[in-house]
């Protein structure tokens, strides 16, 4: 009986065709991958020789990234390098030495 009611409810008609058309029109948008909404949610350590320091990357809003250096023995966390200076160096092009 449930199957008969389901079949009757979804019988081909104007409303069914409208739902199918709407679903087909919106399907590509539903398949798009949405950008992350949570940032700085994980640390994947890249240990340096000696086993007391590591660096990791934070993915930030807008595609930006920051690299962080952690010294576990000293209990410190700081930028791995001067991000603004590195960005300026990359913008200038390859080094000519």
Contact (CB, 8 A) for 77 and 69: yes
Quote the pLDDT of residue 27: 55
Question: What is the model's pTM?
Answer: 0.55
Judged against a pLDDT cut of 80, whether residue 24 lies above it is answered with no
Judged against a pLDDT cut of 80, whether residue 15 lies above it is answered with no
Higher pLDDT, 41 or 22: 41
At 57, give phi and psi (nearest 5°). Answer: -110, 135
Please name every residue paired with 55 in a beta bridge, in sequence order, or none if there are none: 46, 69
Mean pLDDT of 26-53: 79
Confidence band of 35 (pLDDT split at 50, 70, 90): low
């Amino acid at each position: 009986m449930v199957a008969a009611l389901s079949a009757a409810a979804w019988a081909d008609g104007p409303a069914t065709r409208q739902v199918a058309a709407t679903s087909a029109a919106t399907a590509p948008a539903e398949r798009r991958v949405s950008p992350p909404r949570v940032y700085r949610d994980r640390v994947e350590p890249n240990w340096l020789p000696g086993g007391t320091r590591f660096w990791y990357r934070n993915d930030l809003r807008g595609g930006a990234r920051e690299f962080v250096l952690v010294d576990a023995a000293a209990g410190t966390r700081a930028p791995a390098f001067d991000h603004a200076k590195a960005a300026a160096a990359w913008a200038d092009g390859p080094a000519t030495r």
